[in-house]
């Protein structure tokens, strides 16, 4: 009997373009070094602003009429430092990656530019500067996504990303122009001073438009579709930057514009954020748990984590407007902490996936495996990242998810139907998300790195070079710090929280010491002591086992048990598809998988099976249901408009003359 497993489309081996020249070491080091240096400047400036006085910078000549204006406050400094930290790790990693993957010059120029754009966004102090930095970030990231443009999948992902990011930008542009027109000023400070006089209808319109724009950047449902396309197809350092730093800018926009400048808003704003966050988290993690492409899995995990952060933001806004600022401060701390830990473990995850991709040319988990022996360093790094993403103790995501759950559980819902309804539902959503997240990460790590290799490419994998390992080690160190000693972040988070009065900023946040203590509610936890207890238990068990071994006979070496067969083969292992099959079956109605099982019998007897063919295709159901009709309508409309463009110069001249005539008539 033979069984052929036709699965998700595989990725062509990278580096097949063997004619590409190896880039010179100086250029590579310059690009990576500049990226890392920009990141270091971002971290230094961000921390200086958080712990010092706000800084202001005006460059009048750079833009006509309004000039460029940077105002850094603790909130902007926080996002700047987070982006900078990601850039340091990615910059060091990219130096080795570019050499190994034979990057052309163009992406190496764009990488520092992209980082500069991302650092400028949280520093912007006026609408014009903000939009300029935002567009620089979007354009640079688009260019980087397209750096392997010879592959069709990359071009398709690029078009998707370009359209969605520009539509998002248009929404933000419209919202901010309306806002600054209503407030009578371009600078954020002016808007904040005059926000009280803006009509509620205008404020709601601005909220809805910015939520759409920033939500699409953060990868929230249903505007997430670019994320699982662009992140896998971009080079891995770029995926790390986009997934760990750029999506944070969407969250920054929501906090800055919707919660700080416009807020405090009505209950419905917080509720909207919570709904979008919860749906994104559950849907993202569900798609991640059935994904077979390693980078696609990580991209969906980004949607999940951004959903959790948005849920926490919404909870903070709702609790604050319901008169529970202390619990709101816990939720807001959870959001900020989760943002940081997500940045750390997702950087690490994408960088480790990039090492695997560079070593094997594979992203398909069904073809990987056996990397623990061949790439021990990368395997340890990915394990740290996966532990962080699964939200278990000793992982980077644990403390923030614990804080989020505490804030949801301890919300005072006496005499408040809204809180009594939303908070338990949110607890359910977060719990489901965390549970499925563990399944997704166990699959990614267990199937991708452990057991035996499933393909010759995985069998021939070699460890990543030192600079790539160094970049990953930096991110891993950040993960460990967030997991074991969140106390180090306590002062930073307190100062950021202080500038956010709309979301519980006036109350004292949770005390992040050796013990995490929550003011006003009963609940405390100590990640450091949990880790110490675990390490002691492991050492004690190992010591006892070693002590007991002295009295036992020498161990016998026997072949592995292969269920009676002669030897084990990699075909006997779990694959990513088979591991996720039960989940896929349970969530059949949501995932809508397109599966096909074909059994071919021998002609002599239908009791004997000759061949089994199993094919499964998991597309994004939201993309299929919402995007396809829109794309089709736009295409039809474009075909119709095309008739006006027959290619005749005379006709075009006539259009010009007609247009001029209309303008003259109108402006008469």
Partner 1 sequence: MSWISRIWRIGRIVEPAPHAPEPSVEPPTGVAGSLQLRHVDAGSCNGCELELTGAFSPVYDAERFGARLVASPRHADGLVATGVVTHNMAQPLLNTFHAVPEPRVVIAVGDCACNGGVFTKGYGVVGPVGDVVPVDVEVPGCPPTPQQIIAALRAVTGR
The residue (of 564 and 647) whose beta carbon lies closer to partner 1 is 564
In this complex, which beta carbon is closest to partner 1, that of residue 565 or of residue 649?
Answer: 565
Paired tokens of 336: 């900020």
- Rounded CA separation 84/35 (Å): 9
Between 420 and 562, CB nearer to partner 1:
562
Q: Can you tell me which residue has the tokens 């590409």?
A: 20
| Residues near 114 by beta carbon (within 8 Å), at least 6 away in sequence | 137, 140, 141, 144, 238, 241
| Minimum distance of partner 1 from residue 370's CB (angstroms) | 23
Angstrom CA distances, 475 to 215, 457, 470, 488, stand at 26, 27, 9, 16
**Footprint of partner 1 on 19-38 (CB under 8 A):** none
Shortest distance, CB of residue 442 to partner 1, whole angstroms? 23
103-162: contacts with partner 1 (CB under 8 A): none
**What is the spatial distance between Cα 88 and Cα 533, in angstroms, rounded to a whole number?**
33
Query: In whole angstroms, how close is the CB of 541 to partner 1 at the nearest point?
Result: 21
* Nearest-approach distance from CB 569 to partner 1, in angstroms: 15
CB of 571 to partner 1, least distance (A): 18
Nearer to partner 1, 608 or 619 (CB): 608
Minimum CB distance to partner 1 smaller for 26 or for 565: 565
At its nearest, how many Å lie between partner 1 and the CB of residue 558? 7
Site string for partner 1, 467-496 (x = CB under 8 A): ------------------------------
For the bound state, the minimum distance from the C-beta of residue 632 to partner 1, rounded and expressed in Å, comes to: 54
Q: Minimum Å distance from CB 561 to partner 1? A: 5
Alpha-carbon span 468 to 97, nearest angstrom:
7
**Closer Cβ to partner 1, 64 or 564, answer by number:** 564
Tokens of 87: 């850039």
In angstroms and rounded to an integer, the radius of gyration of the C-alpha atoms of the chain is 27
Tokens for 469, please give them. Answer: 């390992």
x/- binding map, residues 92-111, to partner 1, per CB under 8 A?
--------------------
HSE-up of residue 382 (Cα within 13 Å, Cβ side): 29
Least distance to partner 1 from the beta carbon of 604, Å? 18
Residue closer to partner 1, measured from CB, 26 or 563: 563
Closest distance between partner 1 and the C-beta of residue 557, in Å?
12
* Residue with Cβ nearer partner 1 (566 or 604): 566
Please choose, from the candidates 182, 72, 178, the residue with its C-alpha nearest in 3D space to the C-alpha of residue 125: 72
Burial of 653 (0-12, 13-18, 19+ CB in 10 A): exposed
For residues 424 and 277, is the Cβ–Cβ distance under 8 A? no
Minimum distance from CB of 565 to partner 1 (Å)?
Answer: 7
- If the CB atoms of residues 558 and 666 are measured against partner 1, the closer one turns out to be 558
d(CA 453, CA 463): 15
Separation between Cα atoms, residue 284 and residue 221, nearest integer Å: 8
**Cα–Cα distance, 220 to 173 (Å, whole number):** 19
Residue in 263, 231, 259, 262 with CA at minimum distance from that of residue 246: 231
- 397-426 positions binding partner 1, by CB under 8 A: none
On whether the CB atoms of residues 178 and 261 are closer than 8 A, the answer is: no
**Tokens 């070693």 appear where?**
546
CA–CA gap between residue 573 and residue 562 (Å, rounded): 11
Q: Which residues pair with 6 in a beta bridge?
A: 615
Q: Which of residues 538-597 bind partner 1 (CB under 8 A)?
A: 556, 558-559, 561-562, 564-566
- CB-nearer residue toward partner 1: 545 or 556: 556
- Could you give the CA distance from residue 130 to residue 549 in angstroms, rounded to a whole number? 66
Per DSSP, helices labelled H in 518-575 are: 527-549
Find where tokens 């971009």 sit: 234
Kindly state the smallest distance separating residue 3's Cβ from partner 1, in Å.
20
Q: Least distance (Å) from partner 1 to the CB of residue 583?
A: 25
Angle at 528 between CA 525 and CA 530, to 5 degrees: 65
Of 108, 250, 233, the residue nearest 158 (C-alpha): 233
> How far, in Å, CA of 599 to CA of 607, rounded?
11
Specify the residue, 149 or 571, whose C-beta has the smaller distance to partner 1.
571
**Contacts (CB under 8 A) with partner 1, residues 51-70:** none
Task: Return the residues of window 350-369 that contact partner 1 according to CB under 8 A.
Answer: none
Nearer to partner 1, 545 or 565 (CB): 565
**CB-wise, 197 or 553, nearer to partner 1?**
553
Per DSSP bridges, beta strands 609-617 and 594-601 are: antiparallel
Minimum CB distance to partner 1, residue 29 (Å): 53
Question: Token digits for 214?
Answer: 């920033």
Q: Is 593 left (phi over 0), alpha (psi -120 to 50) or beta?
A: beta
Binding mask 377-396 for partner 1 (x = CB under 8 A): --------------------
Size of the site for partner 1 (CB under 8 A): 8
- Crossing angle, helix 376-389 and helix 466-484, to 10 degrees? 30
Q: Which is nearer to partner 1, 18 or 567 (by Cβ)? A: 567
Minimum CB separation of residue 564 from partner 1 in Å reads: 3
**C-beta of 20 vs 562, nearer to partner 1:** 562
Residue whose entry in the numeric block shows the structure tokens 């699982």: 228
Residues that bind partner 1 (CB under 8 A): 556, 558-559, 561-562, 564-566
């Amino acid at each position: 009997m033979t069984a052929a497993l036709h699965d998700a489309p595989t990725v062509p081996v990278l580096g097949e373009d063997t004619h590409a020249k190896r880039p010179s070491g100086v250029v590579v080091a310059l690009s990576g070094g500049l990226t890392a240096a920009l990141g270091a400047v971002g971290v230094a400036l961000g921390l200086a602003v958080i712990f010092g006085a706000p800084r202001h910078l005006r460059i009048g000549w750079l833009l006509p009429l309004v000039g460029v204006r940077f105002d850094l406050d603790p909130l902007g400094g926080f996002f700047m430092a987070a982006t900078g930290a990601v850039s340091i790790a990615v910059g060091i990693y990219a130096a080795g990656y570019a050499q190994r993957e034979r990057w052309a010059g163009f992406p190496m120029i764009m990488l520092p530019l992209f980082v500069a754009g991302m650092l400028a966004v949280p520093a912007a102090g006026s609408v014009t500067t903000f939009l300029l930095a935002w567009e620089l970030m979007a354009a640079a990231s688009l260019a980087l996504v397209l750096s392997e443009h010879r592959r069709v999948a990359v071009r398709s992902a690029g078009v998707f990303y370009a359209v969605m990011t520009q539509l998002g930008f248009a929404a933000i542009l419209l919202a901010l122009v309306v806002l600054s027109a209503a407030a009578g000023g371009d600078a954020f400070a002016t808007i904040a001073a005059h926000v009280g006089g803006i009509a509620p209808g205008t404020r709601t319109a601005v909220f809805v438009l910015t939520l759409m724009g920033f939500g699409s950047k953060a990868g929230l449902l249903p505007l997430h579709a670019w994320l699982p396309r662009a992140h896998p197809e971009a080079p891995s350092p770029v995926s790390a930057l986009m997934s760990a730093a750029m999506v944070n800018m969407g969250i920054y926009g929501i906090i800055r514009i919707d919660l700080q400048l416009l807020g405090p808003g009505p209950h419905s704003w917080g509720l909207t954020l919570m709904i979008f966050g919860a749906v994104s988290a559950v849907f993202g993690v569900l798609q991640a748990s059935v994904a077979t492409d390693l980078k696609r899995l990580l991209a969906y995990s980004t949607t999940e984590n951004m959903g959790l952060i948005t849920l926490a933001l919404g909870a903070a806004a709702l609790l604050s407007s319901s008169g529970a600022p202390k619990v709101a401060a816990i939720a807001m701390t959870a959001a900020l902490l989760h943002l940081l830990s997500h940045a750390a473990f997702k950087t690490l995850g994408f960088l480790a996936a990039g090492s695997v991709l560079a070593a094997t040319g594979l992203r398909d988990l069904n073809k990987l495996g056996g990397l623990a022996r061949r790439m021990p360093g990368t395997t340890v790094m990915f394990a740290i990242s996966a532990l962080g993403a699964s939200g278990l103790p000793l992982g980077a995501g644990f403390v923030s998810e614990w804080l989020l759950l505490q804030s949801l559980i301890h919300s005072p819902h006496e005499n408040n139907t809204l809180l009594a309804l939303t908070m338990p539902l949110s607890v359910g959503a977060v719990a489901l998300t965390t549970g499925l997240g563990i399944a997704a990460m166990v699959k990614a790590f267990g199937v991708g790195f452990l057991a035996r290799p499933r393909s010759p490419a995985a069998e021939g994998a070699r460890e990543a070079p030192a600079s790539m390992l160094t970049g990953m080690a930096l991110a891993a160190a950040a993960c460990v710090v967030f997991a074991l000693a969140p106390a180090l972040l306590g002062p930073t988070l307190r100062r950021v929280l202080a500038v956010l009065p709309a979301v519980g900023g006036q109350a004292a946040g949770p005390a992040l010491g050796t013990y995490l203590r929550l003011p006003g509610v009963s609940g405390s936890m100590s990640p450091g002591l949990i880790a110490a207890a675990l390490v002691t238990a492991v050492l004690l068990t190992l010591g006892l086992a070693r002590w007991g071994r002295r009295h036992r006979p020498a161990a016998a070496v026997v072949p592995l048990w292969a269920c009676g067969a002669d030897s084990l083969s990699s075909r006997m292992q779990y694959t990513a598809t088979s591991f996720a099959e039960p989940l896929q079956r349970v969530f059949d109605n949501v995932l809508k998988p397109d599966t096909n099982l074909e059994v071919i019998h021998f002609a002599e007897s239908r009791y004997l099976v000759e061949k089994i063919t199993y094919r499964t295709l998991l597309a994004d159901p939201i993309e299929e249901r919402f995007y396809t009709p829109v794309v089709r309508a736009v295409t039809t409309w474009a075909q119709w408009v095309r008739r006006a463009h027959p290619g005749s110069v005379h006709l075009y001249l006539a259009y010009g003359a007609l247009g001029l005539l209309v303008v003259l008539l109108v402006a008469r």
